[in-house]
Amino acid sequence: MQDPIEILYQDSHYVAIRKPPGVLVHRTAISQDRTFVLQQLRDQLGRRVYPVHRLDRATSGVLVFALSPEAARRLVAAFTERRVSKGYLAVVRGYAAPRGLIDRPLSTASGGSSTQSAITRFRRLATVELPYAVSRYPTARYSLVLARPATGRQHQLRRHFSGADHPIVGDTTYGDGSHNRFFREQFGHYRLLLMARSLAFVHPFTHRSLLITAPLDASWRELLDQLGWSHVGRRDGGP
């Protein structure tokens, strides 16, 4: 029996959950998965739910569904018009800049030569240097960053940080295999270290400002303890 999905917020129009890592949001044409967040939440609530945005299979954190087609239409418009503020926690290789802006167009999901604008702002929250020669350097350096994508392109954060020479740890597509193995062998962490920590927007029906924050799960709490970052990542409401 599956564990129930953790609900972070619910009203008559929307429900926000904490998506676990490793699960697709909804069924795709090529997927052979048997478990999907949309179907599980529908069964748990006993009513239809409508996707508003998405998170990659490997990414955990805040995910919002609408409870009617009209509610979905209004919040999708807010995402499209960049009226939703998104905050992500990520562990990246190396010492990231204290603050930064990545403005680099990304190729579309269909491939080819066409690209879409993509903008990510980030702030470094903490750093650590470990006495292990993971690659060609005698020590291994990592940063905990808070990333705020202004656009929502496919794999945007993963591709942007990889292109900036700070790949996200645990990313098996765009990341660094040697550092991924190090985290598996040294710390026992096999997942992508990327979490949708918060979403903020003006409620399309009540017109009140709404901030939804996902608490850190046990794996993230353990990792922050191991790296000496627990005082940063565990602040109420997120960093």
Query: What are 171-204's pLDDT values in tens digits?
Result: 999 999 999 999 999 999 999 999 999 999 999 9
The 10 Å Cβ neighbour count of residue 68 is 15
Query: Tell me: the pLDDT tens digits for 77-95?
Result: 999 999 999 999 999 999 9
Q: What is the Cα–Cα distance from 159 to 179, expressed in whole angstroms?
A: 17
* CA neighbor of 160 nearest in space, from 99, 105, 112, 95: 105
Provide the percentage of residues in the chain whose pLDDT is more than 90. 81
107: amino acid identity, one letter: S
Least confident piece of the model among 27-31, 53-57, 177-181 = 27-31
Per the prediction, the chain carries an average pLDDT of: 92
Q: Which residues pair with 129 in a beta bridge?
A: 141
Q: What is the pLDDT of residue 28?
A: 60
> Which has more confidence, 213 or 111?
213
Domains in the chain and their CATH numbers?
6-233 (3.30.2350.10)
Catalytic residues: 56
Residue with tokens 């990659």: 56
Return all residues near 170 (Cβ < 8 A) that are at least 6 apart.
58, 91, 180, 183, 189, 190, 191, 192, 193, 194
- Say which residues have a Cβ less than 8 Å from residue 140's Cβ, sequence separation at least 6: 129, 130, 132, 133, 134, 179, 182
58 — phi, psi (to 5°)?
A: -80, -15
pLDDT bracket for residue 3 (50, 70, 90):
confident
Q: What is the pLDDT of residue 108?
A: 78
Q: Which is more confident, 55 or 109?
A: 55
The whole model's pTM is what? 0.92
pLDDT at 111 over 90: no
